[in-house]
Amino acid sequence: MNDAFGNALSFRYELLLPEIILAITAALVIGADAFRSELRLGRRILPWLSVLGLLVAGGVSLLWIDESSDFQLLLTIDNFTTFFRVLFIATAVFVILGSHEYVEKHIGHIGEFYALILLSTVGAIYMAAARELLTAYVSIEILSFSLYVAVSLARNDRRSGEAALKYALLGGVASAMLLYGLSLLYGVGGSTQYAEIGAALAGGAPGMTLPLLLGLALIIAGLGFKASAVPFHMYTPDVYEGAPLPITAYIAATSKAAVLALFLRWFSGPLLPAIDDWQWMIVGLSLASMALGNLIALQQHNIKRLLAYSSIGQVGFMLMAIATISEVSASALLLHIGGYLITNLAVFTAVIALYNRTGTEEISGFRGLAQTNPYLALVITAGLFSLAGMPMLAGFLTKFILFQSASQGGYLWLVTFAVMMSVLSLYYYLKVIREMYLHQPDGDPSRWRLTPTGYLATGVLSLGMVVVGVYAAPLYTMADRASRVLF
């Protein structure tokens, strides 16, 4: 290493402190679970230890607001990274708070479950923070391998092992495509650093048109798989159905948001000079995802499969912001991701609470919920209406701003189609609401209550849906400050 390069490197390990805290917490959780009998610890200590570590890491993350620093030219710690750090950590906290009762009943390896949530959060954060290709790829694999194992953790459910096998096999193919695409991009750009790739592409890269196109196609295919975009979505409904419910919620939230963060880093930075080569590909993915996701969701009778196809349609909406990439569309996408995560977690937390009571994932199992637990029925109704984009809820305002930014980018016809798909989605969401309010309960009609943590998680998330739907200015300000560093 020459002196000039050595002086350019920054060895500020304190920049990585939140992820170090998460990794140490994961090790402590595994250790506490392994030596639980010797230490005379109950299993209830594991979720609370995990939440404590997450809260400490989240608090430390706030120290780098409005700072822009890098670690060894591998990771960038800026407002964009901080935005996703807080978002991913908050997601993990709510998944754990809303599911610890489920985990005790249905997960065979509890310590491993919480450790995998923590480690996958580290991978997701580094996907948003990476500033060179190999770091981004390793981060993707940290997230992916953690989820491959977590999907298989359901006790006495054959679907769980099958889903994990499908996820791992297809995920391996997608990772191979992505890595091959990155190697072609490295050949065109002559570097793995985002800034140097962007400079090479801006200079024209003569004679590299075909390798660049092939590399972009493979990269978009690999990321499309990770985001469950059509036609790379085949595994999604089976994985959603077979995975334990908390992991389904985590995949629908953190996994998708992490891939979209990587989309933003790559397509607003190093790949922006080649926008004419990849824009039509993203538009095609967006159009196909909106159409197929919402149309096939109409036929579903299992709530996890319905939410799987719903999430595919939602990815189609979000990809419009990538196709029309600009500072306006990037901030709109970050705002929408925030609202989407709050809404999605509220719905899944409520579904987990219902599953703990009834043991069914069928939509017919929601019958009469408005009588047996009116609060939970209200939370699910608000969440589904928010996903559909109804006024006064987070989904309406964030989707409106997202659609507006796409129309300003010159894709009014795509926005028109997206509005049509949003209206269509209301039909299959209303199927669930109809079961809760227009039918009598099949079993015991007596009322029942959630656990205190169930009320805490669903209450905070429901309040967040309403607050963002009515007054999104604070979240929009954070999204705008985060997106500004990309350009």
**Secondary structure of 423-457 in HEC code, one letter for each residue:** HHHHHHHHHHHHHHHHCCCCCCCCCCCCCHHHHHH
Q: d(Cα 104, Cα 182) in Å, to the nearest integer? A: 41
Contact of 180 with 256, CB cutoff 8 Å: no
Which one, of 95, 25, 45, lies nearest residue 453 by Cα? 95
**Which tens digit of pLDDT belongs to each residue from 131-172?**
999 999 999 999 999 999 999 888 777 888 888 889 999 999
Task: Kindly state the average pLDDT of the residues 30-34.
Answer: 88
Length of the chain: 487
Q: d(Cα 383, Cα 377) in Å, to the nearest integer? A: 10
Contact of 369 with 441, CB cutoff 8 Å: yes
Flag whether pLDDT at 1 surpasses 60: no
Q: d(Cα 96, Cα 246) in Å, to the nearest integer? A: 8
Flag whether pLDDT at 259 surpasses 80: yes
Contact of 289 with 230, CB cutoff 8 Å: yes
Which one, of 275, 355, 369, lies nearest residue 322 by Cα? 275
213-237 b/e (C-beta count within 10 Å ≥ 16 → b): bebbbbbbbbbbbbbbbbebbebbb
Write down the pLDDT at residue 87: 94
Flag whether pLDDT at 202 surpasses 80: yes
**Measured on CA atoms in the order 303, 309, 313, 315, is the torsion positive or negative?**
positive
Most confident range (mean pLDDT) of 34-43, 62-71, 190-199, 257-266 is 257-266
DSSP-assigned letters across all residues of 275-328: HHHHHHHHHHHHHHHHHHHHHHHTT--BHHHHHHHHHHHHHHHHHHHHHT-SHH
Q: Residue 362: beta bridge partners?
A: 302
Flag whether pLDDT at 96 surpasses 90: yes
Q: d(Cα 280, Cα 266) in Å, to the nearest integer? A: 16
Share of the chain above pLDDT 70, in %: 97
Flag whether pLDDT at 237 surpasses 60: yes
**Does the pTM of the predicted model rise above 0.85?**
yes
Task: Kindly state the average pLDDT of the residues 267-296.
Answer: 92
Q: d(Cα 456, Cα 364) in Å, to the nearest integer? A: 26
In this structure, what token pair is assigned to residue 313? 């349609």
Flag whether pLDDT at 196 surpasses 80: yes
3-state secondary structure 379-405: HHHHHHHHHHCCCCCHHHHHHHHHHHH
The amino acid sitting at 107 is: I
Flag whether pLDDT at 17 surpasses 90: yes
Contact of 318 with 399, CB cutoff 8 Å: no
Q: If you average pLDDT over every residue of the chain, what do you get?
A: 89
In this structure, what token pair is assigned to residue 446? 């007596």
Contact of 90 with 106, CB cutoff 8 Å: no
Flag whether pLDDT at 256 surpasses 80: yes
Flag whether pLDDT at 215 surpasses 60: yes
Q: d(Cα 481, Cα 80) in Å, to the nearest integer? A: 8
Flag whether pLDDT at 449 surpasses 70: yes
Mean pLDDT lowest among 197-211, 229-243, 306-320, 368-382: 197-211
Task: Kindly state the average pLDDT of the residues 208-221.
Answer: 89
Task: Kindly state the average pLDDT of the residues 44-66.
Answer: 91
Could you give the dihedral angle defined by the CA atoms of residues 400, 401, 405 and 410, in that order, rounded to the nearest 10 degrees?
A: 10
Residue 214 C-beta-side C-alpha neighbours within 13 Å: 11
Contact of 88 with 254, CB cutoff 8 Å: yes
Residue 337 C-beta-side C-alpha neighbours within 13 Å: 35
Contact of 352 with 246, CB cutoff 8 Å: yes
In this structure, what token pair is assigned to residue 300? 């579903």
Flag whether pLDDT at 208 surpasses 80: no
Flag whether pLDDT at 440 surpasses 90: no
- For the chain, the first-to-last Cα distance in angstroms comes to 31
Write down the pLDDT at residue 6: 44
pLDDT band at 330 (very low <50, low <70, confident <90, very high): very high
